[in-house]
Structure formats: structure tokens, C-alpha cells
Structure 1
Amino acid sequence: MRVSARALPVLLGPVVGLLAVVEAHLDAAFAARAVTVWAPGLLLGAGIALAAWFPVAGALAAVACFPLGLLVGAPDIGGAGLIGLIGITAWAGWRLPRPRSLLVLGAAVAAGVVTSLLAGQSLWEAIFQPAILLPGYLLGVLSRTNGERAAELTRLAAALDAERERTAYAAVAAERTRIAREVHDAVAHSVSVITLQLGGLRRQLSDPLHRDVVLNLERLGRRSVAEMRGLVGILRDNANTGTPAPEPSLARVHELIAEVGAAGLPVRLDVTGERGEVPRLLDASAYRVLQEALTNVLRHNGPAPTTVTVGYAAERVTVEVVNEAGLAADDTSGGGHGIIGMRERVSLFRGTLLAGPEPGGGFGVRATFPISDVVTS
């Protein structure tokens, strides 16, 4: 399940603040000076929560728990404080650009080391701070790298899909040219020769009835040659002046519905929500999932009444195909992708795909594509 970039600090901040208060009152080592422990903990929790809207400012406010603890005389930052600091540095490595995340890590390490030395703690305490924060930060950076790699793979998959379409179109155009050439050079030529021979035969016949029959055949031959030459022109025009299919997008869903409707599938389309800014790669993948689901309905269930629902929301895009035939709309043979292919497309965006029988009969495919809430500030 995809975790929103803003949801994590919003949830972690209050939890850290609450843990700091509980720790201060339940740990015997802090019981006599509880306020000096939970006050820095509350500041840490508030800074973490603030980072959801102001990433760097909130993270630096959270790091200020170190000097605050020194000012109020806290004996230690406590376990809750360490949890919070590890969490905010890991989050910074995950969601912030590298210079800003390093700023947060450097501030946390510097504040911890300086505070430990000013408080007269051992050298080990000064070493312990960066030693405990650095792994958390690196884990966040690793998560960010994996996310960027997944996005790049998605981009490459979309580019490969587009290149495959261009290659298929070029192959179709070449085949049209070849067919046009064969029709012109072989079939049309042969029919022309036959027509000329019929004309010669007609002139040698003396019986008027036979002459009329051959004349009709001659006219039919000439008309056939003219029609074949027109067909050759159409094939060459389509091959030379046609344009590739438009880029796949849910904005063209009505065209897709019209195509499958013309193929004999009765489809009803429902669109909910307002289409806002949909990422291009996500838009193309959602269209392909919808296209594959409808193709499978045609392939397996024939003219089964089908309902298509496309839903737009602020954080997700959903596509749904439900048919009334009750058969699994899947095909993993013969070069088809089927439900496995749909699931692979959805997983690129960490979405979900549900496919199976409907409670009231029929078969449904539902795909949800989360729209990433990337922190840019």
C-alpha cells in the first residue's frame, strides 16, 4: 500500500509526543524530572508534524529538542526522542531532495553531538548520536532511490509500449504497400490480359448471342481492373499518408467505448469526478488496463452487457469493468497479457487490482492507481 508523503509525519508527530509524556512518567529514571523530558519530546513531535507542510523548517524545529533538553536540564532525550529523530531523518532522506535531506541530517547530528558535549556527557554519547541517526537516513535514501527507479522503469515501459505501437504501424504500412504492389503487378495485370483476350475473341465470333456474352465479360473485366486500381490507390494512400494512433489516454475513453460497441459489445460508460491533472504515464497505463479488460470480455464472453466506470479523485484514478456473463475475462495465452499483465501495469504505480466473480453474478475488474503526493518544498 502506498504511504502518502504527508501522512507519515502527521501520524508520527503526535505518536512521538505522546510516547515522550508516557515515558517521562513511567520510567523511574525520569520520574523526578518528568517535565524536563516530555517538554523536548513535545517539541520534537510538533516539529515532525509541521514537516508535513514545511519540510525543512519542521525538521529543524524537531532537531531543536536537543538544545531545549539541555536548557531545561533533561538528563537524556529518552527513547521516544530517539524514535522521533530516527523517523524524521529517515523521512527527510526519503522525501526531500538530497541537499535538503543532508541539511536535516547534519543539523540533527550537530545538535546531538554539541548538546552531549556541553552537557558533560561521555564521548560515547557524542558518537552514539550520528551512529543511530545515519542508518535511518540511509534507509530513507534507499527508499527514495527505489521509488525513482520504479518511476524510471514505468517511463521506459511506456516508451517501449509507444515504440511497439510505432513498429506495428510501420509493419502494417509495409504490408499494405506489399499487397498493393501484388494486386497491381499480378492480379490487375492478369485480369487486364484476360480482358484483352476476350476483346480479341469477341471480334472473331459471328454469332451475335455469343458476341454479347463475351462483350459483357469484357466489360466486367475492365470494371474489375478499374476497381482493383482504386483499391491499390487506397492501400498506398493509407500506407504513405496515414498517421499513427493517438497516445493512449483516459481522455479518449469514449472512443474506446465506441470501438468495442461497434465490435458488438453493449457497453455503458459512467465517469465520476472531475478529471484534473493526471500523470501521463499513469493515464496511459490506466487506459491500457481498461482496453485489455474490454478486449477480454469480447474474447471470452461475446456480447455480454458490460458497465465501465472511470473515477477521478484528488489522490487516485480508478477504472472498473463489470460484465454480466460470469466468466473470467482473462487470457494469458496467445500473446495476451490478461489479468497478469493488468496487475503488472497497476503494480508499477503501487496500486491495486481486484478481479473476480461479482456477488450478484458476472465478473469484474477494478484497478486503482494512486496519484503520488510528492513533496516539492
Structure 2
Amino acid sequence: MKRRSRLWSVLLELALIAAAAVESLTTLEWATPWESGLAIAAAVGLIFRRRWPWLSLLLAVPAFTLNLATLAGLASLFSVAVRERRRWRLVTTGAVVFVLAAVPWWGWTSPNYTILSIVYAALYAAAPIAFGLLVRTRRELFDRIHDLEQVRRSERARIASDVLVEERTRIAREMHDVVSHQVSLIAVQAGAIQVQTEEPGTKRMAVTIRSLASRTLDELRDMVTLLRAETGHAPLAPQPTVDDLDRLIADSGIAVTSAIELPDGLPAPVQRAIYRTVQEGLTNARKHAPGAAVDVRAEASADEVTVVIRNARPARTSDSSWSSAGHGLVGLSERAELLNGSLLTEDAPTRFTLTFRAPY
């Protein structure tokens, strides 16, 4: 749209210069050479009317004073009115143009002709200036409307941000009031089992459940703090890194075969994504393939990290009451996209594979 408007503007400018040139060339038939030269100079001055309107007007003044270049004088005076913001200059310029156009420099003739000359000069001076002021006012109005639209967009963005903050606060409150309460009960019940039971295996399981519940509460508090922080500068606990993978695997309660070969100094977002990928893979295996073996592989090439988690399908369909909405994989996909990476799942008849890749 802007390109088309600019093209029309250029074509209009060329047409105006061409018309002024034709008008000036017609003076060759009846005017003296120096008068024709003044008319041609006025037409050439239109080339500069957008950038230097005063120069264009000065070149046109001698010609329109002698009634040799009407079109060039009107166009240059219009350009001055569009560009010049000081009113006193416009008033002075209009008065000078009126005088130059009204006074018959070749001598007074009849009174009727004098009156017509004065009316013609008034229109010649006032019309371009009035039209130029109208165009400038229109442009300023469009600029003001554009600014108002920008303000409206900013206001809508602020309202959307306020709604988002309110929704995040509501979610944080629900997580704190409901989820943390349930996890706390799990930790308490696991502690009670740990104290009451005498069986070593049950005691170890209770210790693991209580430890996982406590860690979940810590992470939940961090998430609640993050959701409630509008600026993102709230103090948070240290986020997990690849150094925490060994403990994550050990506490999973699953038979895991791991081979993790990652370099030091990986970016923090990449390390968190790797940790969450392994965490989600272990959680899915525990939910949907209980008792199945899990293999975790993590390696890095020159510019990319790859994490592959495979678990075998269970011998029979699990009757576990775990429910899943798929939010974990969706969140991992969003993490991968933010890192310009990818998350792939392969649901084969004998195994399930989760593959995460990201550059670093």
C-alpha cells in the first residue's frame, strides 16, 4: 500500500513538472529570450520544491511576476505553505506574492483591469497557501490519529497484561491452596508409614515418597512465587541443572540405565530443559509403563545437545489410576521451541521414545 502511494506521488510530481515545462516552453513563441529563460528556470525549480520549497519559490517569483509561469508559482507557493510552520512568514510571503501579482509592471491600464488584477492576485496568493495549510493540517490529523491508535494498542496491551497477572495470581492461589495441601498430606502420610512400619522395604518406599513430596512442595513454592511475580525479579530457589540428573534418576524408584555425557558450561535454559525432559520421561514411564526398564541417554555434539529416553511397553496394560492431560509434553514442546530445538515422540508397539534436541 505504501509503495503504491509513493508511486502515485512520484507520477504526480513528474506530471506537474512536465506541465510546467510545457507552459514555460510556450513562451518561446512570443516572449523575449530572457523572459523565456525565467519561465524555464521556474519550471526547473519545481524539482526542488519538496526538499527546498523556498528555493523553488524564489526561482518562480520573477516568472510569475511577469505572468510567464503561473503553474510553477502556484506549486512552489503551495509547497512553502505545506512545509513552513511559522505563520508570520506565510503571511509575509502571501502579501509579497499579492503585490507582485497585482501591480502591472508594464503600466496601469483601465480601472476595470486594475480591479480584476487585484482579485486575481488575491486568489493567486491566498489559494495555494490555504490549500497547503489544509494538506498540512490533514497530515497532522493523520499523525495524531496514528498516535492515538498507538496509545490505544498500548492500553489494550496493558489491560491484557493486567488480566494475565490477575489470572496468574488466581492460578497461583489455587495451586497453593489445593495442590500444595494434597502434596503436604502425602508427605505426612508417608512420614506416618515410615514411623509405624517395621518392614525395611516399606520404610524405604515411605522415605522416598516423603522426600519426593517435600521436593515437589519446594518446586511448587517456586512456581507459585514465579506466577505471582509481575516483573520476574522475585527471589527464587536455584533451578535444577544437569548436575541434578543423577539424583533425579536415583530417586525415581525405577530401574534406569543411563549414559549422560554432557559438557560443562551449558546455558542455564538448556540445562533446565534437559532436566525437565528427563523428569517428564521418568514420570511417564512410572505412570504408563510401571515396572518397565528405562534407558536415558544424553550427549552433545559441537553445537547441539540430544536427550533420548526410552521405556519398554509393559507386558500387560496398566490398570493404574494415574490420569494425564498431556500438559507435560506440551510444556516440553514449548521449551524446545523457545530454544529453537525440537521434541519428538515415537510411540512404537514395543517401546516409547522421547527425544529432545536443542542448539547451544
TM-score when normalising by structure 2: 0.51
1:227-266 CA-partner distances (Å, limit 9, x unpaired)? 2123223334465538xxxxxxxxxxxxxxxxxxxxxxxx
Q: What is the CA RMSD across the aligned residues, in angstroms? A: 3.8
The structure-2 alpha-carbon separation of the partners of 1:219 and 1:136, relative to structure 1 and needing over 3 Å to count, comes to same
Partner Cα separation in structure 1 for residue 194 and residue 177 of structure 2: 26
Report the alpha carbon displacement of residue 97 of structure 1 after superposing the two structures with TM.
2.1
Identity %: 22
> Do structure 1's residue 135 and structure 2's residue 127 form an aligned pair?
yes
**Alignment partner for residue 148 of structure 2, among 146, 156, 160?**
156
The structure-2 alpha-carbon separation of the partners of 1:183 and 1:40, relative to structure 1 and needing over 3 Å to count, comes to same
Residue matched to 2:292: none
Contact 2:197 2:203 in 1 (8 A): yes
The structure-2 alpha-carbon separation of the partners of 1:37 and 1:106, relative to structure 1 and needing over 3 Å to count, comes to same
**Alignment partner for residue 113 of structure 1, among 97, 102, 105?**
102
Residue identity opposite 1:63 in structure 2: V
Report the alpha carbon displacement of residue 127 of structure 1 after superposing the two structures with TM.
1.0
Residue matched to 1:350: none
Runs of 4+ in 1 over 6 A off after TM superposition: 3-11
Contact 1:45 1:62 in 2 (8 A): yes
Report the alpha carbon displacement of residue 104 of structure 1 after superposing the two structures with TM.
3.0
Contact 1:173 1:240 in 2 (8 A): no
The structure-2 alpha-carbon separation of the partners of 1:64 and 1:130, relative to structure 1 and needing over 3 Å to count, comes to same
Contact 1:14 1:49 in 2 (8 A): no
1:265-295 CA-partner distances (Å, limit 9, x unpaired)? xxxxxxxxxxxxxxxxxxxxxxxxxxxxxxx
Stretches of structure 2 that go unaligned for 5 or more consecutive residues are: 235-360
**Alignment partner for residue 42 of structure 1, among 18, 40, 43?**
40
Q: Between the two structures, name the one with larger relative contact order (CA 8 Å, sep ≥ 6).
A: 1
The structure-2 alpha-carbon separation of the partners of 1:112 and 1:214, relative to structure 1 and needing over 3 Å to count, comes to same
> Do structure 1's residue 19 and structure 2's residue 8 form an aligned pair?
no
Q: What SS does structure 2 have at the residue aligned with 1:142?
A: helix
> Do structure 1's residue 194 and structure 2's residue 190 form an aligned pair?
no
The structure-2 alpha-carbon separation of the partners of 1:49 and 1:221, relative to structure 1 and needing over 3 Å to count, comes to closer
Partner Cα separation in structure 1 for residue 155 and residue 51 of structure 2: 40
Residue matched to 2:82: 94
Stretches of structure 1 that go unaligned for 5 or more consecutive residues are: 26-30, 70-76, 243-377
Contact 2:25 2:36 in 1 (8 A): yes
Report the alpha carbon displacement of residue 23 of structure 1 after superposing the two structures with TM.
4.5
Contact 2:190 2:206 in 1 (8 A): yes
Report the alpha carbon displacement of residue 192 of structure 1 after superposing the two structures with TM.
0.9
Partner Cα separation in structure 2 for residue 111 and residue 4 of structure 1: 34
Partner Cα separation in structure 1 for residue 213 and residue 187 of structure 2: 5
1:240-319 alignment, distance < 5 Å = 241=233
The structure-2 alpha-carbon separation of the partners of 1:57 and 1:8, relative to structure 1 and needing over 3 Å to count, comes to farther
Residue identity opposite 1:175 in structure 2: E
Report the alpha carbon displacement of residue 136 of structure 1 after superposing the two structures with TM.
3.1
Residue matched to 1:63: 61
Contact 2:45 2:59 in 1 (8 A): yes
Q: What SS does structure 2 have at the residue aligned with 1:139?
A: helix
TM-score when normalising by structure 1: 0.49
Residue matched to 1:2: 6
Residue identity opposite 1:227 in structure 2: E
Q: What SS does structure 1 have at the residue aligned with 2:6?
A: coil
What is the aligned length? 227
Contact 1:60 1:104 in 2 (8 A): no
- Structure with larger Rg: 2
Contact 1:93 1:141 in 2 (8 A): yes
Report the alpha carbon displacement of residue 112 of structure 1 after superposing the two structures with TM.
0.8
